[in-house]
Chain A
Amino acid sequence: MWDEYLFPASVEEALEMLEAHGGEARIIAGGTDLVLQSQRGQCLAKVMVDITRIAGLDHIEERDGLIYIGARVTHGQVAASPLICSRAGVLAEACGSVGGAQIRNVGTLVGNVVNALPAADGAIALFALDAEAEVAERTGRRWTPISTLYAGVGLCTVDPCAAMITQLRFRALGKGEAGAFERLAKRRALVLPILNAAAVVGLQGDKVAKARIAIGPVAPTPFIAAEAAEALVGRIPHEASVTEAAKLAAQAAQPRDSLLRGSAEYRKAMVEVLVRRALWRAVEAASLQEGEDGNS
């Protein structure tokens, strides 16, 4: 384990602490993964810089149509947020399926991203929402698309020994838009998924105006099934078109044979099922929303 544990009061102080320890210190938030990694010798940092007492990183708020989520926000807070439930339900569903209540009370959504696992439920939903992350470095802050944060299994391009992600943002889902998250696992709680999928759909009239599908773990990083989503755009979302898109997603996905997660063949077949279910629920919710708005 580590030798020193620090509580900076600001992002700037956290970055100074990292710099002062020259690669020996790293950021920690909830630590639900990091404690285990440290015990197993997979994290060698000697100094932990805990960001959970920094003011101003605990927000879930909407500004100008964008939803912002701070680095301290836990999976439990996301899943229970009325704003997220109504304007980004797909993310609430995903965060609500991470671990058990004890893990969701501690583990953060940003941590889910920094861990960079291709099966991370929260991250899969963020990919479907086309989220961005704000990265704070000594040179300043910048926004970057979530896909640029992933360099491989467990490899985040933001070095936690030198920088940190301060918040996430994505466009709130509006009229005629909705998402859904689906998960396949051996048990319903406290177990990593065999597969997960998130879909976001936007309808205009009776046709699909936009669609985005994210799937994990079927590649070293969360996977966007672009072709499948494109095939749906401009079409009426009936059973045939949704099934066709789900088939395209399954063709594009490259799950591996896994002793834990099942054979590649089985998992490829299940990608189609999960994507179809996610798309179908998203379409239903989106059309319901359009109907409701139209009536009011």
Chain B
Amino acid sequence: MVTLKMILNGQEVSVDVEPGDLLADVFRDKLGLIGTKISSGEGECGACTVLVDGKAVDSCIYPAIKVQGREVITIEGLGQDNRLDAIQQAFVDKTAPQCGYCVPGMVISAKALLDENPHPTRKEIEKRISGNLCRCTGYYQIIEAIELAAERLAGKGGLE
């Protein structure tokens, strides 16, 4: 066992992990954060996307121990209490979720994009979410939701 310390969703967290544990499993099985989904389990679908030091990574193939001392954001880190974050709200308003399984990863990928580039073109959005598979929507509502989030955030001057 190794004691893993990280800043998780803004809070210092300490958790005992095995050297071979993967980050998505630590969230789901040890920390009760089941918003992060596992689908392909091999970095193919992006359902498990989280931010490590602001960069999107597939947590299902990311050794947990790599986040020692780092800042990590999962879907649970967005929004406050019963208020959704601007990206989540845009997904609701555009009816972007259908089965919903890809949505946490999609939202995190969108956040990584908008944090870096607040005014992405449609092409930039498409390219950025190409690591996130959705088998329901055909992506249109998702892309529109990210565009809407970008517009709203520009009006408010940045992510909350």
Contact = CB atoms under 8 A, between A and B. Distances in A.
Interface string A32-49: 100110100000000010
Contacts of A102: 43, 46, 49, 56-58, 109, 131
A35 B49 contact: no
B42 interface: yes
A266 interface: no
Interface in A3-55: 3-5, 7, 28, 31-32, 35-36, 38, 48, 50, 52
Q: Chain B contact residues (Cβ within 8 angstroms of A): what range?
A: 20 to 34
Contacts, number: 75
Nearest to B105: A102
B19 A103 contact: no
Interface in A96-147: 99-103, 105-106
A102 to B, nearest CB: 4
A1 interface: yes
A2 B20 contact: yes
A36 B43 contact: yes
Contacts of B14: none
A238 interface: no
A101 B131 contact: yes
B22 interface: yes
Nearest to B2: A5
Interface residues on A, range: 20 to 34
A99 B127 CA distance: 11
A35 B130 contact: no
A189 interface: yes
Contacts of A1: 18-20
Given A3-B19, A5-B2, A190-B44, A100 B57 contact: no
Interface string A166-183: 000000000000000000
Contacts of A3: 19-20
B46 A5 contact: no
B66 A100 contact: no
Contacts of A186: none
A105 B57 contact: yes
B19 A100 contact: no
A188 B18 CA distance: 36
B43 A189 contact: no
Interface string B33-77: 000000000111010010000011110011101101000000000
A99 B43 contact: yes
B141 to A, nearest CB: 19
A100 B46 contact: yes
Contact of B56 (A28, A52, A105, A190): A105
A32 B131 CA distance: 14
A189 B133 CA distance: 10
A5 B22 CA distance: 12
Contacts of B19: 1-5, 48
Contacts of B2: 5
A143 B67 CA distance: 32
A103 B56 CA distance: 9
B128 interface: yes
Contacts of A28: 63
Interface of A: 1-5, 7, 28, 31-32, 35-36, 38, 48, 50, 52, 76, 99-103, 105-106, 188-190
Given A101-B112, A102-B46, A102-B56, 18 more contacts: A1-B19, A1-B20, A2-B20, A3-B20, A5-B19, A32-B58, A32-B61, A36-B42, A100-B130, A101-B128, A102-B57, A105-B56, A105-B57, A106-B57, A106-B58, A189-B127, A189-B131, A190-B131
Interface of B: 2, 18-20, 22, 42-44, 46, 49, 55-58, 61-63, 65-66, 68, 109, 112, 127-128, 130-133
